[in-house]
Amino acid sequence: MLRIGLLTSGGDCQALNATMRGIVKTVLHNTDDQVEIYGFEDGYQGLIYGRYRKMKWKDFSGVLTQGGTILGTSRTPFKLLDTPEADGVQKVPAMKKTYKSLKLDCLFMLGGNGSTKTANRLSQEGLNVIALPKTIDNDTWGTDVTFGFTSAIDVATKYLDEIKTTASSHGRVFVVEIMGHKVGWIPLYAGIAGGADVILLPEIPYDIKNVVKAIDSREQRGGRFAIVACAEGAISKEQAAMPKKEYKKLVAARKYSVAYEIADEIAQLTSREVRVGIPGHTQRGGTPDAQDRIFATQCGVEAARALFDQDFGVMIAKVNNKMVRVPMTEVAGKLKYVDPKSDLVREAKLMGISFGDD
Ligand code: F6P
């Protein structure tokens, strides 16, 4: 009898349940159901405090299209891993204890960068851990894509589509702030799919004068409105030149998010009416799109295969359209940024989308 544990950690996304379904159905299908399944509640917290549910095939049936996570999630910051919980519980020893007391053969951890660092630590502590690349941000190193990403692009794109009609009616400039944490993958893809005139990414610092120039040139050609898709981590050239500490302070002191700052600057330099739109956490919500359902299923199957091969300490990834396993030690803690020289950025620039850099 195999004994497996599952947990979902960090910010949620649309395809977590689809991924767990992929793991569980593959494991059950290939072992004549000789598996005990333990689902830990609220991420690593469930593992720390031994909060788990024994689960069956039926728990994973009908969840392919269900967003969020049936297990619940939470953030357990890696940098606080060796700091005891408020009640004095030491996290790493507690997690090892739960794992060992349940005699688990493997723990499947669905999480992003920080969570994978913790998974890597547990693996180094001797637990059999397999990580699966979750995050709408698509910033996980070692995989071309993460699950959650394409669904988030869809939500942000639809938001841009809907903003356009009202922007057009009123002849306004809209600054739409798109998630992605420190990277610009969602704003880049959604910006192109949603026909944004300007896309501002953390990887390409902007000059507000260039942003206004792009808006003006659109107006001169007869455009009634303009859409600026800005990443939540968008950064001006001046800010990028600051010492990191000073920039962090500036961000922490912001009363409102970056889109409002950019909208104010645009309003000061033009006579146009400017508004802000923020899809926010809807980008993590709702049902996974078809691509995410397929990728989530592939991730689940590959993770189960890694278990059968006793290949632990790995993260499941997709590289050049192939499912692969990469050692967690190679990926944990590294961020995957948009390459400002990538084909997609170059193509967008060639058809006139401004990134505010020139
Ligand atoms: O990592 C996913 C993400 O949605 C980021 O895009 C965003 O910066 C962050 O999580 C928001 O975190 P929270 O849900 O804690 O507000």
Candidates 217, 170, 226; CA nearest to 197 is 226
Q: What was the pLDDT predicted at 77?
A: 95
Instruction: Give the pLDDT band (50/70/90) at residue 11.
Output: very high
207 is a catalytic site residue: no
pLDDT, tens only, 246-285: 999 999 999 999 999 999 999 999 989 999 999 999 999 9
Q: Does residue 92 sit in helix, strand or coil? A: helix
Span 91-116, mean pLDDT?
98
Residue 45 structure tokens: 């917290």
pLDDT at 198: 98
In the prediction, which pLDDT does 208 show?
A: 98
pLDDT digit string (tens) for 301-326? 999 999 999 999 999 999 999 999 99
- The pLDDT of residue 276: 98
Closest atom of ligand 1 to CA, residue 112: 1
Per-residue model confidence as pLDDT tens digits over 194-252: 999 999 999 999 999 999 999 999 999 999 999 999 999 999 999 999 999 999 999 99
Predicted local distance difference test score (pLDDT) of residue 178 = 98
3-state secondary structure (DSSP) of residue 128? coil
Q: Is the CB of 284 under 6 A from ligand 1?
A: yes
What pLDDT does residue 339 have? 98
180 Cα to the center of ligand 1, angstroms = 7
pLDDT of residue 250: 95
- Rg of the chain on CA atoms, in Å: 22
202 CB less than 6 Å from ligand 1? no
120-172: per-residue pLDDT in tens? 999 999 999 999 999 999 999 999 999 999 999 999 999 999 999 999 999 99
> What was the pLDDT predicted at 205?
98
Query: What does pLDDT average to over the chain?
Result: 97
pLDDT of residue 246: 97
The pLDDT confidence band at residue 118, using thresholds 50, 70 and 90, is very high
Residue nearest to atom 2 of ligand 1 (CA): 11
Distance, CA of 325 to CA of 240 (rounded, Å):
35
For ligand 1, say whether the CB of 180 is within 6 Å of any of its atoms.
yes
31 C-alpha to ligand 1 centroid (Å): 37
* Widest CA span in the chain: 71
Query: 135 CB less than 6 Å from ligand 1?
Result: yes
Q: Which of 137, 139, 154, 197 is catalytic?
A: 137
Q: Half-sphere exposure (CA, 13 Å, Cβ side) for 96? A: 12
User: What's the gap between Cα 206 and its chain centre?
Assistant: 23
Minimal CA–CA distance to 187: which of 161, 209, 157? 157
Can you give the pLDDT at residue 88?
A: 97
Note the pLDDT tens digit of each residue in 282-295. Answer: 999 999 999 999 99
The pLDDT of residue 221 is 95
